[in-house]
Amino acid sequence: MAGAGMHPYHQQWVPPPQPPPPAAPPIPVENPNRTAADEVRTIFISGLPADVKERELHNLLRWLPGFDASQINFKAEQPMGFALFSTPQHAIAAKNALQDLVFDAETKSVLHTEMAKKNLFVKRGVVADSNSIDQSKRLRTGGDYTHAGYPAPPFHTPPPPPVWGTPGYMAPPAPYDPYGGYPVPQVSMPTPAPVPAPSGYAPVQNTKDNPPCNTLFIGNLGENVNEEELRGIFSVQPGYKQMKILRQERNTVCFIEFDDVNGATTVHQNLQGAVLPSSGRGGMRIQFSKNPFGRRKDSVNGSAAEHNGAPTTYQQ
DNA sequence: AGCACA
């Protein structure tokens, strides 16, 4: 990361700069002989829950490198998603990343992705331009975030998409790329700000977990994680309160407290298996802590007021 | 699998 160290991590996440769609950016293709018109750089996404919103899909996809636009076709029995990327390589990478992704654990929707037969056609000027919205058309959610003077991004979603099931996948020790969840060919990605993000995701075998609470237990951290690394990732998560690192014999573990269970749960899902750049051993394991922050095991020390019906109401 | 701090 170039010496842009003045950006504090606990700053609001700013959406990554996307290629400006209205200007019809020339697609960066390695082979200039090809017109790129015939190259499919769209993926087809099935397995979406019937009540999926375009915005949902878009918010998932927008973090993927090279993402241009997405659309859902609701006419079929099951919604069919399409996502356009700037290059076929980006599309392939995204396809792999999204393959078997649990889109919604509650409805048990698991995504299935394929390369599309043909490219998604993105209509110009539909995106975020209220004057030119053609109401008869379905709104396409494009990757255009160039709303000038946007006060604050409406998303405080963490940068990475949720766990994706690419068994055995390990992020390469490539130069830290805040937006890249997976390796993608050289495309102008300027690495503008040191936005903390895992360098990838790895599957996690989460044996047992504890009942949800507002504190997360982070395990399977590498030997040489440093606090800044962890803080960088977690402190920007919505509802983050504080964290505590615990170094043990061989392991380093970490506790993260959130305002409420929701915050913890979201991060539990979204960052599960996130691979820190420092990690030599795959993704971090995220579990709910056995005890919430600021509260000890039970019994032991003097503060035994809670056992005799004392209404120690702490909500989580 | 490793769960601390008041």
Distance of A68 CA from B5 C1′ (whole Å): 45
Dist CA A256 CA A287 (whole Å): 10
The fold of A42-142 is Alpha-Beta Plaits (3.30.70)
Judged by C1' against the alpha carbon of A255, the nearest nucleotide is B4
Q: What is the pLDDT at residue A316?
A: 43
HSE value, Cβ hemisphere, 13 Å, CA-based, for A56 = 12
Judged by C1' against the alpha carbon of A256, the nearest nucleotide is B4
Among A223, A234, A310, residue whose Cα is nearest residue A9: A234
Residue nearest to nucleotide B5 (CA to C1'): A294
Dist CA A290 CA A295 (whole Å): 10
Token couple for A97: 């990343």
Q: Check: CB of residue A282 under 8 Å from CB of residue A202.
A: yes
Dist CA A226 CA A133 (whole Å): 48
Q: In this complex, which protein residues place their C-beta within 7 A of any atom belonging to strand B? A: A 205, 207, 210, 215, 217, 219-220, 244, 246, 248, 251, 253, 255, 257, 281, 285, 287-297, 300-301, 303
pLDDT along chain A (316 residues), means of 10: 44 44 45 63 96 94 90 94 94 93 90 96 57 41 41 39 40 42 53 67 84 96 91 96 92 96 94 89 93 72 41 43
Q: What is the pLDDT at residue A183?
A: 54
Q: Check: CB of residue A236 under 8 Å from CB of residue A13.
A: yes
Q: What is the pLDDT at residue A65?
A: 82
Token couple for A125: 């000027």
Token couple for A270: 């979204």
Q: What is the pLDDT at residue A311?
A: 42
Q: Do the first three CATH levels of A42-142 and A200-288 match, i.e. the same topology?
A: yes
Q: Which nucleotides of B are covered by protein (CB under 7 A)?
A: 1-6
Q: Check: CB of residue A309 under 8 Å from CB of residue A199.
A: no
Dist CA A169 CA A203 (whole Å): 8
HSE value, Cβ hemisphere, 13 Å, CA-based, for A243 = 24
Domain ranges across chain A = 42-142, 200-288
CATH of domain A200-288: 3.30.70.330
Judged by C1' against the alpha carbon of A289, the nearest nucleotide is B3
Among A196, A195, A166, residue whose Cα is nearest residue A183: A166
For residue A278, give Cα distances in angstroms to A33, A99, A199, A225, A230.
41, 26, 9, 6, 10
Question: What letter would DSSP give residue A253?
Answer: E
Distance of A195 CA from B6 C1′ (whole Å): 33
Place of tokens 């949720």: A162
Q: What is the pLDDT at residue A144?
A: 44
Q: What is the pLDDT at residue A182?
A: 55
